[in-house]
Amino acid sequence: MKKTLAILVALFTFFLYTEIACAAPSSSAQAFAVMEASTGRLLYAGNADAELPMASTTKIMTTLVALENGDLDQMITVPKNCVGVEGSSLYVKEGEEYSLRDLLYGLMLRSGNDAAETIAVGLTGSVDGFVELMNQKAAELGCTGTHFVNPHGLTAEGHYTTARDLAKITSAAMQNETFREITGAKSWKMTTGTNPRVINNKNKMLWEYEGANGGKTGYTSAAGRCLVSTAERDGMQLVCVVLNCSPMFEDSKALLDEAFANYHWTKVLASGETMAIAPVENGRGESSVPAVTQGEVWFPLLDGEKARLRLNYDVAEARAPVKTGDSLGTITLTLDEDLSATVPMASAADVEKEQFGDYVRKVMGGWKMFQSSP
C-alpha cells in the first residue's frame, strides 16, 4: 500500500478524458459541444476539434482573465485608442472613468468591443499584454486548439478556438461566482461613466429556456452566428457551444434538451462513507481503523452507467497514535476513460499508541497461556 501525500491534500481531483459517452444529436452548427461544467465530461459533440473563429464568445475568456487579475471596484480611465472600436459598442468616451465591474457587464451584456479593449489596457497597460494572459489561461485549461489575438473576437488571423475548448473555458468560468452573476444578469444599471444607464443582455436564452443562467452571443461574417449557452437543472450545470450556426438559439435549446433528457446528475459517493479498513501499527488494543470519505462525488450519467463505475483504493498505512480525521489514503472512481474523481479518506476514530506497560502485559499474558498449556 502506498502513501501519496500530494493526493491526500486534495479534496477533489477531476480529470477529463475526451471520449463521447452517447451518440450526438444532429445540429446545423459547423461545430458544437455540450459539456457538464464541474466534471468536464463531454456529453455530445460534433466536429468539436475544428479550429474556427468564435466572434464575441471570446469575451468569456476576457471576463475570466479580468476577474482573476483585477478588482471589480477599481476605476479605469478610457484611453483614446479604445474609443470607436468597430462592431458592437458600449460607446465609451475618451477620459471617462468606469469601474471594472461596469465595464465587465458592458462587455458581457452589450458585447462592447470598446469595453474589451478598455479593460485590457486598464489592467495590463496594453491589449497585447492582456491577450498574453488570455493565451496563458487557455494553456492552463488544456485548450490545445485555441489562440487569441484580441480581447473582443473581431476577425483576425490566428484568432480561433474549438467547440470543445470553448466549452472548457466556459466551464472554468462558471466556477467563478462573480462570472456567474454577470453572465446570468438580464440587465444591469451602470453607475459610473458620464452616462449612467441600464443595459440589457442580448442573450435571449435567459428568457426563453428553463434553467438558463448565462452564456454569450457572437457574430462576425467570418465566424457566422455563435452562441455559448449555460443552463442548470436538478443540480447539473451544462455548457452548450455552437459555432457558425444560423439557428443558434433553436439548435442550442435542442442540444440542451437532449442532454437533460438523457443524462442524470447522480451522487456516486457520499461523504463520511466507510470505504476501507486501514491497518494501524502499534495501536493500543486496535490493529485497524475505518477509513471514511472526505467529500462526495457527483457524475452526469446515462441510465445503466452507474453499474460500470470502478473503484480503486490507495489505503495508507497508519502508525499510532491516530486521530479522527487523519489522512488514510484515497479512493478513485472511474467510468471507462470518460470520468475520474479522486477523494481523500480519513480516520473515523482515534487509536491510542500502545504503551510499554501494554506491551509487558501482552507478553506476560502470552507467557501465562504458554505455562498453562498441556
Per-residue pLDDT of the chain (374 residues; tens, 9 = 90+): 443 333 333 333 333 333 444 566 889 999 999 999 999 999 999 999 999 999 999 999 999 999 999 999 999 999 999 999 999 999 999 999 999 999 999 999 999 999 999 999 999 999 999 999 999 999 999 999 999 999 999 999 999 999 999 999 999 999 999 999 999 999 999 999 999 999 999 999 999 999 999 999 999 999 999 999 999 999 999 999 999 999 999 999 999 999 999 999 999 999 999 999 999 999 998 999 999 999 999 999 999 999 999 999 999 989 999 999 999 999 999 999 889 999 999 999 999 998 745 544 554 455 455 455 55
Residue 346 to residue 332: CA distance in whole angstroms: 14
Q: What are the extents of the domains in the chain?
A: 5-12+268-356, 23-262
- The answer to whether the CB of 182 falls within 8 A of the CB of 175 is no
Q: Tell me whether the CATH fold assigned to 5-12+268-356 matches the one assigned to 23-262.
A: no
Beta bridge partners of 15: 340
How many CB atoms are closer than 10 A to CB 101?
19
56 is catalytic: yes
CATH class of 5-12+268-356: mainly beta
Per CATH, which fold does 23-262 belong to?
A: Beta-lactamase (3.40.710)
* Residue tagged active-site, from 27, 38, 56, 340: 56
* Residue tagged active-site, from 38, 88, 111, 171: 111
- Is 253 flagged in the annotation as binding? no
* Residue tagged active-site, from 27, 38, 59, 99: 59
- The answer to whether the CB of 64 falls within 8 A of the CB of 116 is no
Q: In 3-state terms, what secondary structure has residue 250? A: helix
Residue 133 to residue 142: CA distance in whole angstroms: 14
For residue 288, the Cα-to-chain-centroid distance in whole angstroms is: 37
First to last CA, the chain: 41
